[in-house]
Amino acid sequence: MTTPVIAATGLTKMYGDLVAVNGVSLSVGKGALFGLLGPNGSGKSTMIKMLTGQIRPTAGTATVLGLDVRQDPIGVRERVGIIPEQETPPSFLTATEYLQFVGAIRKIPDIDERAAWWFDFLDFKDKKDVLCKDLSRGTRQKLMFAQAFIHNPELALIDEPLINFDPIMQRVVKDYLTEYVKAGNTIFLSTHILEVAEEICSGFAILHKGNILHAGTVADLVAGHRHLDDFFLDLVQRSRNA
């Protein structure tokens, strides 16, 4: 049996009496474009932070690329690409300097060539020498997207990757993610933009108030003549009324 790229069992995070994520279990296989879907405040960002070792789970277990997120959080972050919920490149560096910094941390020998490719691909080479604090939100999002993929990780965990992009750039990025998984890599993304999830995701899970309401495939929904937005809204509404 193939080892899942991401495997979580009973993953829980509490802040005092607040249960942010409640006993979540899920599995993501290699080559998936998996969407974690939910309203704002449902626990999506907390899940990504636990899976990338940025915060420690209160209970439960999880492995990412075979590494235990509790025992080897640095090892997880070395091997994956991460786009956080907020685009936060260091304000005192230029865009070029930030990617060079990422290259130094990740020991990428050809970082200047890779950075040049990303500046061109995401159409912001005219901003490469601008301080990050002076970049627009959309341009900072481009920079964070570039840093997540510049080392060609086999897995990327990305939080709301399209939220600050205009329609043209959304198309560029969606096409990139689709081709990325076709090459055998894996994407785990969180979003509340259901149209995007239905368009590009192969599998998905719906998270509400820290609980998984459903996990399945987009293909199964299509086969059942259901749209993801209707299915999602029905489940969340029933959960709210329960």
Residue 213, both tokens? 């309401």
Residues 6+ apart with CB under 8 A from 179: none
Q: Where are the beta strands (DSSP E) in the chain?
A: 6-15, 18-28, 33-37, 59-64, 67-68, 80-83, 155-159, 186-191, 203-208, 211-217
The SS3 call for residue 9 is strand
CATH architecture of 6-88+153-241: 3-Layer(aba) Sandwich (3.40)
- How would you write 68-97 as a 3-class SS string? ECCCCHHHHHHHEEEECCCCCCCCCCEHHH
State the Cα–Cα distance between residues 177 and 161, nearest whole angstrom. Answer: 10
State the Cα–Cα distance between residues 44 and 159, nearest whole angstrom. Answer: 8
What tens-digit pLDDT sequence spans the chain (242 residues)? 577 999 999 999 999 999 999 999 999 999 999 999 998 889 999 999 999 999 999 999 999 999 999 999 999 999 999 998 776 888 899 999 999 999 999 999 999 999 999 999 999 999 999 999 999 999 999 999 999 999 999 999 999 888 889 999 999 999 999 999 999 999 999 988 888 889 999 999 999 999 999 999 988 888 887 888 888 888 888 888 87
Number of H helices, E strands in the chain: 9, 10
> What is the residue whose two structure tokens read 């993610």?
177
State the Cα–Cα distance between residues 239 and 230, nearest whole angstrom. Answer: 14
Residue 56, both tokens? 């420690």
pTM: 0.92
List the domain boundaries for the chain.
6-88+153-241
